[in-house]
């Protein structure tokens, strides 16, 4: 009997997603935010994502045999619940609740899940429900999707699951073994999130900005070590200052923050003005360094022997989205191969929970070589989207969309590029992208002025052919999914300064013909015409929006931005000239 496993993420209130395995093959994965057009899709279940996955696979709801969820009940006898109670003694209502009612969120989620399955017409009684602990789902998303027979060290760095937030272990022969787990509130991601909040950004999106501003500050100017105790193997946050709950939380305008009033007394008022001002830019640098130092120290302490044996390290969880940490881990002498799951945040747990369930059933899982796992569309869909839009964009059919795109890029134009299946995960990897020529003067200003409106200190990332990657990046830093930063030689920093960070690194996508044939062909054609085998690659969306999914989304985005050209499958879409009449 065919095993059809539907993985559903979103148990912790944000980033719902669905993934579908048929036996050991991942055939579809989609984030709900892309379909409902609301970033992070908070407090939603992955209804539309699950329906779309089934549609892509050509399956009916009744074909689903297993439903895997990245959230599981935690025993009363687990250390996690008692640790939470002990560390939150100052909030007795929360402490007592964790002991006597510690699975309340799981029970609530199961109720919501039953409602979702009923809405999807998946009979709850006929499927096998497979709860997988949240961090174990993260671990599986990295390990089981890249398993190669070698013993593999596993590091999961997350904000929170049921109670756990850091996992150290290893995978061997398809089994995941635990060495050490840290539980809330002792969260390394929580520490970073608290400073993100203090520095005036929203948690979930602001961490990227803190990481981006860090190279502009002096990490040694202010000592933030009081935020956490770390002696090389033990880690504990100072929850008098950060990751606070209840009455300890700093409140302003009726909003509770992720830090305490004591932190404000020590560091000064929460940032409201220019981030480049002293001390805030230096705080950003200091928290990034502290985060990296502690994470690397813990990895070496708990996983050094495993890494020395095989040279393989998997990292997953929301904290693995920090590309500078991933660079530090790549540089470890024990690490020969760092595997970062491309959807290492919570949407990826839909894949992880399902992969864990499939592997537990004894089935081998095909490696994850591409994240082009979403829906695709026909030219007729694209024509309909143009004709149905109220502003009636102009379109023409192209015999050679690659040649037209290269012509426009060589002229210095920005090109919205929409072709093939939508990507899964936070990065645009050549199917839903805004592309630009990195050699054109003022191109970053054009991208920001016309569509992205980013802070001036945030560079854009390149996508490059694998045939030129060796000239840019040391071998073990090359990555197909833009999951790590890498040091760049002085020669290439001078040649392509617009894609290099202030500290001489870049976050690059190495494009291979086997896994991304369509985008590879475009880059090849661009290299043939210009001599440059790389392009700037930004997500096809406006600020604060989810990556576009459908032709309708793309046309709406295009018409609402100051872009002039879009390749929509085999169509060239442009805007009608403005009328001179009143």
d(CA 299, CA 221): 26
Same-domain pairing of 420 and 492: yes
Is the residue at 374 inside a domain?
A: no
- Asked if residue 112 and residue 222 are part of one domain, the reply reads no
Question: For position 535, what pLDDT does the model report?
Answer: 98
Domain count, the chain: 3
Q: Which residue, 325, 360, 395, sits at the end of a domain?
A: 360
- Residue 163 CB coordination number (10 Å): 23
Q: Are 385 and 511 in the same domain?
A: yes
Same-domain status, 179 and 244 = yes
Residue 166 lies in a domain: yes
CATH label of the domain that carries residue 47: 3.30.420.40
User: Which one-letter DSSP state was computed for residue 487?
Assistant: E
Q: Name the CA radius of gyration of the chain, rounded.
A: 24
CA distance 541 to 407: 23
d(CA 362, CA 360): 5
- Based on the fold, state whether residues 117 and 239 are members of the same structural domain: no
Residue 237 within a domain: yes
| CB-based burial label for 201 (10 Å; 0-12, 13-18, 19+) | buried
Same-domain status, 278 and 390: no
pLDDT (tens, 9 = 90+) of the chain, 582 residues, equals 899 999 999 998 999 999 999 999 999 999 999 999 999 999 999 999 999 999 999 999 999 999 999 999 999 999 999 999 999 999 999 999 999 999 999 999 999 999 999 999 999 999 999 999 999 999 999 999 999 999 999 999 998 899 999 999 999 999 999 999 999 999 999 999 999 999 999 998 999 999 999 999 999 999 999 999 999 889 999 999 999 998 899 998 888 999 999 999 999 999 998 889 999 999 999 999 999 999 999 999 999 999 999 999 999 999 999 999 999 999 999 999 999 999 999 999 999 999 999 999 999 999 999 999 999 999 999 999 999 999 999 999 999 999 999 999 999 999 999 999 999 999 999 999 999 999 999 999 999 999 998 887 888 999 999 999 988 888 899 999 999 999 998 888 899 999 999 999 999 999 999 999 999 999 999 999 999 999 999 999 999 999 999 999 999 999 999 999 999 999 999 998 875 434
Q: How far apart are the first and last CA of the chain?
A: 68
pLDDT at res. 458:
82
Both 274 and 220 in a single domain? yes
Residue 173 sits in the same domain as residue 113: no
CATH code for the domain of 461 = 3.90.870.20
Residues 440 and 330 placed together within one structural domain of the fold: no
Q: Do 496 and 388 reside in the same domain of the chain?
A: yes
**Is 110 part of a structural domain of the chain?**
yes
Give the end of a domain, one of 278, 311, 340. Answer: 340
What are the tokens at 230? 């770390």
In a domain, 582, yes or no: no
Cα separation, 43 vs 53, whole angstroms: 20
Place of tokens 């539980």: 183
In a domain, 373, yes or no: no
Looking at residue 430, what is its pLDDT?
97
3-state DSSP assignment of residue 483 = coil
**Residue 98 falls inside a structural domain:** yes
What is the predicted pLDDT for the residue at 582? 41
504 close to 392: Cβ distance less than 8 angstroms: no
Domain boundary among 280, 312, 340: 340
Domain ranges, residue 402: 379-574
**Same structural domain for residues 418 and 558?**
yes
**Does one domain contain both 462 and 531?**
yes
In a domain, 366, yes or no: no
Most distant CA pair in the chain: distance in Å? 76
Closest by Cα among 41, 106, 45, 51 to 80: 106
pLDDT of residue 412: 97
């Amino acid at each position: 009997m065919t095993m059809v496993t539907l993985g559903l993420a979103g148990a912790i209130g944000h980033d719902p997603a669905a993934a579908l395995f048929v036996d050991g093959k991942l055939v579809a994965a989609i984030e709900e935010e892309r379909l409902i057009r609301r970033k992070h899709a908070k407090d939603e279940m992955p209804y539309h994502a699950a329906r779309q996955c089934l549609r892509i696979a050509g399956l009916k709801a009744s074909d689903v045999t297993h439903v895997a969820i990245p959230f599981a009940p935690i025993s009363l006898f687990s250390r996690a619940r008692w640790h939470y109670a002990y560390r939150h003694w100052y909030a007795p209502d929360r402490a007592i609740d964790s002991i006597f009612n510690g699975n309340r969120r799981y029970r609530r989620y199961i109720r919501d899940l039953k409602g979702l399955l009923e809405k999807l017409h998946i009979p709850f009684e006929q499927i096998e429900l497979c709860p997988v602990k949240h961090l174990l789902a993260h671990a599986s998303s990295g390990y089981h999707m890249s398993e190669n027979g070698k013993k593999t060290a596993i590091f999961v760095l997350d904000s929170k699951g049921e109670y756990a937030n850091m996992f150290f272990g290893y995978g061997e022969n398809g089994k995941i073994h635990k060495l050490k787990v840290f539980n809330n509130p002792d969260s390394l991601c929580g520490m970073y999130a608290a400073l993100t909040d203090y520095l005036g950004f929203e948690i979930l999106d602001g961490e990227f900005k803190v990481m981006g501003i860090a190279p502009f500050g002096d990490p040694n100017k202010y000592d933030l070590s009081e935020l956490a105790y770390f002696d090389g193997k033990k880690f504990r946050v100072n929850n008098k200052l950060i990751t606070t709950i209840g009455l300890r939380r700093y409140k302003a305008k009726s909003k509770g923050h992720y830090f305490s009033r004591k932190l404000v007394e020590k560091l000064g008022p929460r940032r409201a003005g220019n981030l480049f001002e002293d001390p805030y830019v230096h705080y950003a640098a200091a928290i990034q360094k502290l985060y990296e130092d502690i994470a690397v120290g813990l990895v070496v302490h708990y996983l050094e022997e495993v890494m020395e044996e095989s040279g393989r390290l998997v990292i997953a969880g929301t904290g693995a989205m920090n590309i500078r940490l991933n660079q530090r881990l790549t540089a470890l002498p024990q690490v020969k191969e760092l595997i970062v799951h491309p959807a290492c945040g919570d949407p990826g747990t839909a894949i992880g929970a399902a992969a864990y369930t499939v592997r537990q059933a004894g089935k081998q899982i095909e490696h994850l070589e591409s994240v082009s796992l979403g829906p695709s569309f026909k030219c007729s869909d694209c024509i309909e989207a143009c004709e149905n839009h109220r502003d009636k964009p102009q379109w023409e059919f192209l015999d050679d969309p690659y040649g037209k795109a290269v012509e426009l890029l060589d002229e210095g134009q920005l090109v919205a590029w929409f072709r093939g299946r939508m990507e899964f995960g936070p990065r645009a990897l050549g199917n839903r992208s805004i592309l630009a020529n990195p050699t054109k003067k003022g191109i970053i200003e054009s991208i920001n002025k016309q569509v992205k409106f980013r802070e001036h200190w945030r560079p854009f990332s390149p996508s490059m052919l694998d045939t030129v990657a060796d000239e840019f990046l040391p071998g073990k830093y090359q990555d197909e999914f833009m999951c790590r930063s890498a040091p760049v030689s002085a020669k290439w920093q001078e040649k392509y300064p617009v894609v290099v960070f202030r500290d001489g690194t870049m976050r690059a996508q190495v494009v291979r013909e086997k896994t991304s044939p369509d985008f590879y062909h475009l880059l090849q054609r661009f290299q043939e015409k210009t001599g440059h085998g790389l392009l700037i690659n930004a997500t096809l969306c406006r600020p604060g929006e989810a990556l576009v999914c459908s032709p309708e989304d793309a046309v709406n985005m295009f018409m609402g931005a100051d872009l002039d050209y879009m390749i929509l499958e085999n169509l060239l879409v442009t805007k009608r000239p403005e009328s001179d009449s009143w």
